[in-house]
Amino acid sequence: MKKIEAVILPSRVNAVRAELRRRGVCAELTLTEVQHGDTHEHSITPHNGSVDQLEERVKLELIVADRQADKVVGVILRHALTDSPDPDGHVTLLDVSEALQITHPASDISNSSKKSQDIGTPGKR
């Protein structure tokens, strides 16, 4: 499994989500508002307290099967682009050896493939 983290412009989130859905990528998506900026700047906090060099971005995270990773990265790279000459964000791939889903044991009754063996023990994804 791969965890894909992409920091993209908020205006591109809907396009990326729609294309992932259209391509049949069925993964839970986590979105987090983040500040993104260049680490080469001398100071990220000017004397007036504002953070001018940091820009609003959204961090999109999802875990997919290895065979879907290239497709997902391709979708993000194509649909997160803007016309700006400045970098729009970045994508990171991480290996995941195991992912556990937090569910209440009673909620898994209808889906026996995810049913937990012990009460309070999360089922593997």
Residue 26 maps to which CATH number? 3.30.70.120
Closest CA to 74 of 37, 11, 22: 22
Candidate from 8-17, 86-95, 100-109 with smallest mean pLDDT: 100-109
pLDDT at site 26: 85
User: What residue numbers bound the domain in which 62 lies?
Assistant: 2-97
**Number of folded domains in the chain?**
1
Give yes or no for residue 106 having a pLDDT over 50: yes
Question: pTM, whole model, 2 decimals?
Answer: 0.71
Residue 123 maps to a domain: no
User: Does residue 51 sit within a domain?
Assistant: yes
Ranges 12-16, 21-25, 32-36, 67-71: which has the least confidence: 32-36
- 31 vs 109, more confident: 31
Assigned domain for 60 exists: yes
CA distance 44 to 37: 9
pLDDT at 86: 78
